[in-house]
Amino acid sequence: MQVSGTAAQGDEEAPQGDLTVRTIAMPADTNANGDIFGGWVLSQMDQAGGIAGVERAHGRVVTVAVDAMTFIRPVSVGDVLCVYTRVSHVGRTSMKIEVEAWARRFRTQHRERVTRATFTFVAIDDEGRPRPIPT
């Protein structure tokens, strides 16, 4: 599902890219403050980026970097976390994937971005060595 351009449900902007992962935030995913643990959100984003990377590279990829991730808003129990991905650059063996996480709020269905980051993935062969990404 490609999402772009127009605002939805009163948002100032809409998610960019393909909806790649969609999951519900559960009580087991909370930190000591009762908010969803940032590491859980990062993990969902890494998984989504990995899915997009595997599709683009036609094989295994590994995460090598995450650029400047800032948490904009908290995620709460019951929110549906929707993670969108967009391949923004492909090199010989690596690629950059823009990843946005949006929360669809429990009960209200209001949607808002909670964080975004650029992930760098490297395509690898069966021995774990970098390999060229097909054009």
Number of domains in the chain: 1
For 16-47, how does the pLDDT look when each residue is reduced to its tens digit (9 = 90+)?
999 999 999 999 999 988 899 999 999 999 99
Provide the domain limits for residue 75.
2-123
DSSP state of 32: T
Average pLDDT over the chain, rounded to an integer: 91
pLDDT score of 75: 96
Q: Which helix (H) or strand (E) covers residue 41, if one does?
A: helix 38-57
| Residue owning tokens 């790649």 | 20
| Least confidently predicted of 28-32, 48-52, 129-133 | 28-32
- Do residues 79 and 25 lie in contact, with contact meaning Cβ atoms separated by under 8 Å? yes
Has residue 135 been placed in a domain? no
User: Does the pTM of the predicted model rise above 0.75?
Assistant: yes
- Please report, for the domain that includes residue 96, its CATH number: 3.10.129.10
- Do residues 68 and 120 lie in contact, with contact meaning Cβ atoms separated by under 8 Å? no
